[in-house]
Structure 1
Amino acid sequence: MQFDRLKRREFIGLVGALTASMPFSGRAQQQAPTIGFLHQGFPEPLLNTNAFKKGLSEAGIDSQTVRIEDRAANGLYDRLPELAAELVAHDVAVIAANFLPAALAAKAATQIIPIVFLSGSDPIKSGLVSSINRPDGNVTGIAPMFTLLETKNLELLHELAAGASVIGALANLTNPNMEHQLGDLRAAAGVIGLDIVVLSGKDEPEIDASFASLHEHRIGAVVVTADGFLISRQDQIVGLAARYAMPTMYPLSEYVLTGGLMSYGANLRDAFRQMGIYVGRILKGMKPTDLPVLQPTKVEFVINLKTAKALGLEIPPKLFALADEVIE
């Protein structure tokens, strides 16, 4: 009897020692794993959060069995290193980094914890990974590349607002990728024969002030650049475009669903779903090096017909033919 108790004690001690020596990813599967979510803007709206959880489910992870630790910079990008360090100190199982500045901050904060990014920028040129097919280190992710669509956005806007010779470009100049986006816009504008005026939008007051200056700069239409903070202020931006009766082109359909005029870009909700799948696979034991960076190739052109009518705009037949979705 005493011998049996001794063997049981030894067995319990052995299990404890093995558990303590397991890598964190292994222990996280025994316990409730924590996902660190680093946002460069505000936390995601419910639609994107649900899409992320759907991706987790597709990877075999019940979203009810994980904890999500959110950290949001609210557009103050210089706070991202501090917030990334907080998630690392929290010992999360994986970090989901929302858009380029957040992804760069997460990568600088840890070379051990797996990172899954969602970024519209070129992941190699921006320094996130050195290879698309087999990313090295602890970083992989989803790259819809919507920052590379500025030229097409401008062309579609010019097709609708042909009388506008000066185009305003709403941009968050603290975004490390913004210089590249604005360069593409200026090059495209030069070919078409348009002038570009940059409208700064690093915070809510600056966005308000930029729209208030539209008539001063004789701006006839606006293109909104791709930026995580600007996306999180979509209601404010769409409302201002309506107040100033300004034809505006957006990089994502989320703007148009809330009343914006037109958008051309990747499906953001589906990108969050794919991000959830990758996070789920890592929680199941896969490594970032086993997961190539996904580059969704499908883009969608969405028109809000109700908004066009409110602005007194007639949609040309060519744009109707190109549209993937028309909101009545």
Structure 2
Amino acid sequence: MNMKQLPWMSLGALALAVAAVAPASAQQKSVAVTAIVEHPALDSVRDGVQAGLKEAGFEVGKNLKWQYQSAQGNTGTAAQIARKFVGDKPDAIVAIATPSAQALVAATKSVPVVFSAVTDPVAAKLVKDWEPSHNNVTGVSDLLALDKQMELVKQVVPGAKRVGMVYNPGEANSVVVVKQLQALLPKLGMTLVEAAAPRSVDVSSAARSLIGKVDVIYTNTDNNVVSAYEALVKVGQDAKIPLVASDTDSVKRGAIAAFGINYRDLGEQTGRMVARILKGEKPGDIKPEISTKMELFVNPGAAEKQGVKLPDALVKSAVQVVH
């Protein structure tokens, strides 16, 4: 645009003209997403976030800049990603799973952080309580009622007394579940037998250490365990130990049953929350949410391989029967 050719144009009109021809990217919002590791449940959250944003009018390639990085299970890498994303100054950062959320909350007090797939954000010290934080953090939890989980365990293995759990003692959400089960199970006439797996490569040996000591293995959404679920399934099949999960995606990978959250829906719920922030709401004014949509998945073939038969009524009540 040549100023000499526009002697009649005021500065205000010129500014409007420049804005009209400004590239669309100048009007874009920016969202960065990180996950502690890639596995089906967390991948579903990531894809759901993008879908939730699109539903709210923010579409990648049109008016939304999107970047994603996985820490590949490494908390040190999670901290590096957090620092990079904070330096990029996006309009919001989504942290999928507890370790990534903790890294981001430690890295910034100003850039909006929305956590997702975090079991207990209070215990993880992401927020003080379940009320609006009045700072830069909010999000969506995948907290489950463990009494309902143990009801499913009893339906799958009616005589179960000893419940095994493989978990990463360094992952806050798993430690919370262990403590809750330690308090709950004695009331149900059951006991918890723990096996630590600090790394994904430890899952197989931890599971094998439970052979002869447990009647069933219950798995929460521990990221090390879910990342190496096939190793756990092999132990379950070889030793005829039934596996009951809290993650419905794990049923497709060999768990017998799961009464859990649809992680795609959880991601969409998170995406809608992020959209509210992109439209001007402050994260500290938004109360953390819990997903309330629960689904039952069953896998009769896995049950047979692990030495049990699922009750017909349980199979008929499932949202999805995996074959």
Taking structure 1 as the reference length, the TM-score comes to: 0.82
> Is contact 1:75-1:202 (8 Å) kept?
no
| Per-residue Cα deviation, 1:223-268 (whole angstroms, up to 9, x for no partner) | 1122234334344444543344320111110101233211122221
* Pair 42,324 (structure 1): closer, same or farther in 2 beyond 3 Å: closer
Residue in 2 aligned with 1:22? none
2:151 equivalent to 1:155: yes
| Per-residue Cα deviation, 1:116-164 (whole angstroms, up to 9, x for no partner) | 1113423344432345453411112112313xx3343233223322344
* Aligned counterpart in structure 1 of residue 31 of structure 2, from 30, 35, 43: 35
Root mean square deviation, CA, Å: 3.3
Q: Aligned letter for 2:155?
A: E
* Pair 178,312 (structure 1): closer, same or farther in 2 beyond 3 Å: closer
Structure 2 CA distance for aligned equivalents of residues 143 and 2 of structure 1: 55
* Pair 180,2 (structure 1): closer, same or farther in 2 beyond 3 Å: closer
Structure 2 CA distance for aligned equivalents of residues 43 and 67 of structure 1: 24
| Per-residue Cα deviation, 1:27-75 (whole angstroms, up to 9, x for no partner) | 9973544322121223766644432221111110112333432232222
Residue in 2 aligned with 1:142? 140
Cα deviation, residue 222, structure 1: 0.5
Residue in 1 aligned with 2:95? 97
Structure 1 CA distance for aligned equivalents of residues 183 and 308 of structure 2: 27
Q: Which runs of 5+ in 2 are unaligned?
A: none
Alignment of 1:79-94 (within 5 A): 79-94=77-92
Residue in 1 aligned with 2:265? 270
2:309 equivalent to 1:314: yes
Q: Which runs of 5+ in 1 are unaligned?
A: 19-26
> Is contact 1:55-1:275 (8 Å) kept?
yes
2:210 equivalent to 1:214: yes
Structure 2 CA distance for aligned equivalents of residues 307 and 278 of structure 1: 37
* Aligned counterpart in structure 1 of residue 300 of structure 2, from 302, 305, 320: 305
Residue in 2 aligned with 1:127? 125
> Is contact 2:86-2:108 (8 Å) kept?
yes
Structure 1 CA distance for aligned equivalents of residues 181 and 136 of structure 2: 33
* Pair 166,33 (structure 1): closer, same or farther in 2 beyond 3 Å: same
| Per-residue Cα deviation, 1:155-211 (whole angstroms, up to 9, x for no partner) | 322332234443211111111233321122122322233332212223222002112
Residue in 2 aligned with 1:21? none
2:178 equivalent to 1:182: yes
Moved more, 155-164 or 318-327: 318-327
Structure 1 CA distance for aligned equivalents of residues 29 and 39 of structure 2: 20
> Is contact 1:262-1:303 (8 Å) kept?
yes
Structure 1 CA distance for aligned equivalents of residues 315 and 190 of structure 2: 24
Structure 2 CA distance for aligned equivalents of residues 29 and 291 of structure 1: 28
Structure 2 CA distance for aligned equivalents of residues 87 and 32 of structure 1: 17
Structure 1 CA distance for aligned equivalents of residues 35 and 49 of structure 2: 14
* Pair 90,28 (structure 1): closer, same or farther in 2 beyond 3 Å: farther
Helix, strand or coil at the partner of 1:63:
coil
Structure 2 CA distance for aligned equivalents of residues 197 and 95 of structure 1: 37
Residue in 1 aligned with 2:246? 251
> Is contact 1:96-1:115 (8 Å) kept?
yes
Structure 1 CA distance for aligned equivalents of residues 185 and 110 of structure 2: 44
Helix, strand or coil at the partner of 2:297:
strand
> Is contact 1:221-1:247 (8 Å) kept?
yes
> Is contact 1:235-1:255 (8 Å) kept?
no
Residue in 2 aligned with 1:64? 61
Alignment of 1:209-248 (within 5 A): 209-215=205-211, 217-248=212-243
Moved more, 102-111 or 284-293: 284-293
Structure 1 CA distance for aligned equivalents of residues 311 and 147 of structure 2: 19
Structure 2 CA distance for aligned equivalents of residues 6 and 229 of structure 1: 67
> Is contact 2:33-2:46 (8 Å) kept?
no
Structure 2 CA distance for aligned equivalents of residues 209 and 97 of structure 1: 30
Q: Aligned letter for 1:201?
A: A
Helix, strand or coil at the partner of 1:141:
strand
Cα deviation, residue 308, structure 1: 1.5
> Is contact 2:299-2:322 (8 Å) kept?
yes
| Per-residue Cα deviation, 1:296-318 (whole angstroms, up to 9, x for no partner) | 22322221122123334122356
